[in-house]
Amino acid sequence: MRRIKQIGDWVIPIVVGLVMALIINQFFGMQVIAGSSMSPILRNGEVVYRLNKAKVRHNTVISFYAQGIEKNQATTAKTIYVKRVIGLPGERVKYTAKGKLWVNGKLISQNYLSVYQQKQGTLDPQASYPEAAGVKIFENKEFTVPKNSYFVLGDNRNISNDSRYYGFVPEKKVIGVVRAPFWAAKQVQVNAAEVD
């Protein structure tokens, strides 16, 4: 009996710890930003946290699995991209030649971007990537985000490989909403999102 109690004294804390870790992992995660497609808001190597069950809104920064979406670069099942949500499922998106973003006929602020990134950075296509099917951003024409999908862009748009090139991100690929810790220099631009 004493032997069973001794085993229980060290097994029970391990089991409880594993169960707690699994529960926490369902709702919360950490990740490291790889690349500069979100700079200067999020920099290469910066550590952010992720809320796996948070609601996705306009201007929310999300992480998602790129495999099956990405058409221009090699990916694996573990490749994760971080981009900003511009269009929600079913929304009509139009980007004008003056760099203005309209969603469902409403002007959406892009105050997290420089004027250059709003205009040339967004509207001058990269020569190496073709425009994705169904996306009309370079033609300044309205297009509709498909059901259960998102239209996403990187903040460093002149180099970002995003929905302009690989198309819409299915909801089922989204891991969670990215948040920067309160001490991060640009945390306001990451953590703020338009409230519906």
Q: Which residue has the tokens 């139009």?
A: 94
The tokens describing 164, both together, are 């302009």
pLDDT of residue 150: 98
- Map out the domains of the chain with their CATH numbers: 2-191 (2.10.109.10)
Q: In the 8-state DSSP scheme, what is residue 90?
A: T
Could you read off the pLDDT tens digit of each residue along the chain, which spans 196 residues? Answer: 666 666 656 666 665 555 555 555 566 678 888 889 999 888 898 888 888 888 999 999 999 999 999 988 899 999 999 999 999 999 999 999 999 999 999 999 998 899 999 999 999 998 788 889 999 999 999 999 999 999 999 999 999 999 999 999 999 999 999 987 666 666 666 667 654 4
* CA 162 to chain CA mean position, Å: 10
Q: Which of 67, 73, 75 is nearest to 129 (CA)?
A: 73
pLDDT of residue 196: 45
**Cα three-residue angle 174-180-181, rounded to 5 degrees:** 135
Give the Cβ contact number of residue 14 at 10 Å: 9
pLDDT of residue 30: 81
pLDDT of residue 180: 73
Residue 74 main-chain phi, psi, to 5 deg:
-70, 140
Contacts by residues 145-148 (CB-CB < 8 Å, ≥ 24 positions apart): 145/87, 145/88, 145/89, 145/90, 145/91, 145/92, 145/93, 146/89, 146/90, 147/89, 147/90, 148/89, 148/172
Which residues are known to be catalytic?
Answer: 37, 83
pLDDT of residue 195: 46
The tokens describing 187, both together, are 């945390």
How is 100-169 classified by DSSP, letter by letter? -EEETTEEE--TTS-HHIIIIIHHS--TTSPPPTT--TTTT--EEPPTTEEEEE-SSTTT--SHHHH-PE
pLDDT of residue 130: 87
CB 91 within 8 A of CB 144: yes
- Three-class DSSP category at 12: helix
pLDDT of residue 9: 66
